[in-house]
Amino acid sequence: MGGIIGLDRRGFLALLGSATMTSGAGPALAQAAPRKGGILRVSSPANPSSLDPATGGSGSDHVFLYTMFDTLVAFDYASLRAVPGLAESWSYPEPATLVLNIRPGVLFHDATPCDAAAVKFNLDRNRKDERSNIRSDLETVTDVTVSGPNQVTLKLSQPDTALPLILSDRAGMMCSPKALRERGKDHDRNPVGAGPWKFVRWADAEKIVVTRNEQYWQPGRPYLDGVELSIITEVNTGLRSVIAGQNDFIYFLSPQQKPVIDRSKGLVSVIGPTLYCVQLYLNWGRPPLNDLRVRQALNYGVDREEFNKATMNGLSEPAAITLPTAHWAHDKEMAKYYPYNPDKARALVAEAGYKDGIDLNFVGFSDQRSQQRQEVLMEQYRKVGIRLRFTNGTVAEMSAAFLSDKRGDGLLSAWTGRADPTLTYQLLFGAGAYYNASRVEAVPEIGPALRATRATEDVDGRRQAFARLQRLVTENALLVPLVFQFELDAHSQRVKGYRPNLLGKPKFEDVYLDG
């Protein structure tokens, strides 16, 4: 079994080049044709917040949602470019108008049609319903009209070419309008979508079961008769369940578990790059982090390579900007902006008026891995005169403390990523955005630069717009990206056809069981 612990540069580049790496599986090309049948048993690390795409709020919900909900737009696994989903095509007849052509003949699990009227119902609900957590995703949409039996037209407040990929996320997951009307809030726990599998039951914090949708629109799909997702919050226990053969698949493993997978006979590990970025969020709206020199010192003062080795077993990509190397909008130039330079960091701290060093109060999480990261950072920053202190608690509590209650100068957490990078930048740096603790734009150019990323449909044009936006973010040191964590999954050898995606949230649509 090939291991990539302590990846050297060559190994790392090889991993990025191949986008994913599978060990212990044997030659991929030797796989037989997909077989139909069988139940995939999955160990999942978290109970979903809701099974309604609009009302849920956790990034770990997607793995459950993908089984039951198809999205209007899908994405290419390796590059995250938009590809047809329930919408078989789309166009911008005018810069501020998006037309979606809905695939005819698609049915929800309750046999009602997933047509233009259903799409309008869903989009209106997602952008207006008070229980919707994704209203901001569709904030540029001012009106949705049914312009044909299988066509909807979205009127926009401004040109927005980010929308197709936004519709590959929660906002594009279509629920049955009939079920939503009849079930109300109960749809959170008893959902009806148009995805490859139908909801069967959810035993809270225990198990979610879905079964094959016989009326699925893709011929011959899905391969699996069903998926059983057991909620095992302790990932070591979850991994043991796969080693013992009680489950077939586990995801969201930590890098420290790679040696365990390698030692286990009959287990296949899958590694792939993701958007998941471990980072320091900063509140630049007030002292002391309203001083650019202090923020820059935080970026120069961290040794990301060392952080990767010490906390991630080498299983991550050191991060200097918001998008990883594999992403289509990654900017190579900006990625070199903050090399590790402790002398410069120390000088910047002194220049900012803190001759004896500076004390910063951060908030973080109390789990073991977070505390290990904190210890490494505290030690690294101590050497450049930055004394970090962490107040810890649960993820929900401390995230809310920093992002809502404005406690702390910064937060050590992660960004799970969004399919379209505009949304990532908007949510992290836009004025009033939830993940922007200061709630203000650091520099006035951010707003126009954000709008520019939505203005053109052309990929090269968008890439240039993102480069300009990333330059603003990097030069102003609006956060401290640390590492992009690789997706690490493990499965038994009978699981075939699985491919990780750059979003880092497993989908099982291509999976089949052998034997």
Partner 1 sequence: MIGRRLLQIVPVIMLATFVVFGLLQLVPGDIAVTLAGENASDARIVQIRQSYGLDRPFLVQYASWLWNALHLDLSRSYLSNEPVLDQILHRFPTSLLIVGGALTISLVIGIPLGILAATRPGSRLDTTVTSLASLGVALPNFWLAMILVATFALSFHWFPATGAVALGKDPGLALWHATLPSLALAAGGVAEVVRQLRSALIEILSSQYVRTLRAKGLSPASILWKHGLKNVSVTLLTVIGLLVNRLLGATVVVEAVFAIPGMGSLIVHAAIHKDFPVVQGVVLAMVVIVICLNLLIDVLYTILDPRVGLR
Residue 391 beta carbon to partner 1: minimum distance, rounded to whole angstroms: 10
User: CA 278, CA 299: separation in Å to the nearest integer?
Assistant: 14
- Comparing CB distances to partner 1, the nearer of 192 and 384 is 192
Residue 481 beta carbon to partner 1: minimum distance, rounded to whole angstroms: 21
Residue 204 beta carbon to partner 1: minimum distance, rounded to whole angstroms: 4
Contact between 404 and partner 1 by CB under 8 A: the answer reads yes
Residue 508 beta carbon to partner 1: minimum distance, rounded to whole angstroms: 21
Query: Which position among 401, 431, 455, 459 is part of the footprint of partner 1 (CB under 8 A)?
Result: 401
- Provide the H-helix boundaries in 334-420: 342-351, 368-382, 395-403
Contact between 460 and partner 1 by CB under 8 A: the answer reads no
Q: Say if CB 298 and CB 411 are below 8 A apart.
A: no
Dihedral angle over CA of 257, 260, 262, 266, nearest 10? -120
Residue 110 beta carbon to partner 1: minimum distance, rounded to whole angstroms: 21
Taking CB under 8 A as the binding criterion, the range among 198-206, 271-279, 324-332, 436-444 that sits at the site for partner 1 is 198-206
Residues 6+ apart with CB under 8 A from 149: 104, 115, 116
**If you search the block for the tokens 């391969």, which residue do you land on?**
223
Site for partner 1 in 172-191 (CB under 8 A): 185-186, 188-189
Residue type, 47: N
User: CA 226, CA 199: separation in Å to the nearest integer?
Assistant: 10
Picking from 311, 287, 296, the residue whose alpha carbon sits closest to that of residue 480 is 296
Contact between 204 and partner 1 by CB under 8 A: the answer reads yes
User: CA 325, CA 319: separation in Å to the nearest integer?
Assistant: 9
Contact between 243 and partner 1 by CB under 8 A: the answer reads yes
- Provide the H-helix boundaries in 143-220: 163-166, 177-183
Q: 3-class DSSP state for residue 338?
A: coil
Contact between 269 and partner 1 by CB under 8 A: the answer reads no
Output the CA–CA distances (angstroms, integers) from residue 125 to 132, 150, 180, in the order listed. 7, 19, 10
Query: Which position among 105, 245, 353, 448 is part of the footprint of partner 1 (CB under 8 A)?
Result: 245
Contact between 451 and partner 1 by CB under 8 A: the answer reads no
Residue 84 beta carbon to partner 1: minimum distance, rounded to whole angstroms: 29
Residue 288 beta carbon to partner 1: minimum distance, rounded to whole angstroms: 25
Picking from 186, 56, 196, the residue whose alpha carbon sits closest to that of residue 131 is 56
- Comparing CB distances to partner 1, the nearer of 135 and 471 is 135
User: CA 30, CA 36: separation in Å to the nearest integer?
Assistant: 18
Residue type, 204: D
Contact between 485 and partner 1 by CB under 8 A: the answer reads no
- Comparing CB distances to partner 1, the nearer of 137 and 331 is 137
Residue type, 132: S
Contact between 149 and partner 1 by CB under 8 A: the answer reads no
Site for partner 1 in 26-85 (CB under 8 A): 47, 49, 55-57
**If you search the block for the tokens 């099974």, which residue do you land on?**
51
Query: Which position among 17, 29, 32, 130 is part of the footprint of partner 1 (CB under 8 A)?
Result: 130
Interacting residues with partner 1 (CB under 8 A): 47, 49, 55-57, 130, 133, 135-136, 185-186, 188-189, 203-207, 230, 232-234, 237-238, 240-241, 243-247, 393-394, 396-397, 400-401, 404, 434
